[in-house]
Amino acid sequence: MSSKNDILSAIRRHTGKRYDMPELTLDAITYEDKILQFTDSLKAAGGQVVLMQPGDDINDIIRHHFPDAIRIASNLSSITCATFNPDDLDDPRELDNTDLAIVEGHFGVAENGAVWITVCCRMARVARITRQVKHKALYFISNSLVMLIDRNSIVNNMHEAYKRTENMTYDFGAFISGPSKTADIEQALVLGAHGPVKVLVVLK
């Protein structure tokens, strides 16, 4: 038994009366136009949204926004501008010096412009589920990040978002809203402090 299981077992043995989780009845914020709110929220967080139109080519959109990207990672078959599949790498350190990563998110959140992304679990990899990536480092080590989501998958708020994640299977999950940033030093906002400098969300 691992030390983690030892600790959890000790906690269970010393737990007295147990209580059921309360039902949350909060009236969370909703929006008349979730796409517009998502776009505004992500822009406020330093990111950008492109709403695809009929006839648009996703690869043309990516090349337009990232003309200087050379090393481009994606495991999506529709991304023909990618130069390599990150899932083919065994060591995530080989993702270093990736100019651009193009991934598929599960859904967006209108109130804060966040996108829910995951790393696939071992069973999902066996089932060849491609919307999740193999290495979580891909989301953070790339200089720029493009996330593709269905425009109809945007939820209003984080309450709805967490409900959406309840039955998902994954090894790692995170909400990403805009590029990495910090304002700790002299109250100056720095983008790309711990991750991508630029984040683009494409609504399909």
* Confidence (pLDDT) at 122: 54
- pLDDT tens digits in sequence order for the chain, 204 residues long: 578 888 888 888 877 777 787 776 777 888 999 999 999 999 998 899 999 999 999 999 999 999 999 999 999 989 999 999 999 999 999 999 999 999 999 999 999 999 999 887 554 544 444 467 889 899 999 999 999 999 999 999 999 999 888 888 888 889 998 887 777 777 777 776 677 889 999 999
Decide: residue 45, CB within 10 A, 0-12 exposed, 13-18 middle, 19+ buried: middle
* Confidence (pLDDT) at 6: 86
3-state DSSP helix/strand/coil percent for the chain, to nearest 5?
Answer: 30, 20, 50
- With left for phi above 0 and alpha for psi between -120 and 50, is residue 57 left, alpha or beta? beta
* Confidence (pLDDT) at 192: 66
- Name residues whose C-beta falls within 8 Å of residue 190's C-beta, 6 or more positions apart in sequence: 181, 182, 183
* Confidence (pLDDT) at 171: 83
Q: Residue 152 and residue 107: Cα distance in Å, rounded?
A: 9
Measured over the CA atoms of residue 33, residue 35, residue 36 and residue 38, the dihedral's sign is positive
Q: Residue 154 and residue 114: Cα distance in Å, rounded?
A: 10
Rounded to two decimals, what is the model's pTM?
A: 0.80
* Confidence (pLDDT) at 131: 63
**Ramachandran angles phi, psi of 139, nearest 5°:** -70, -20
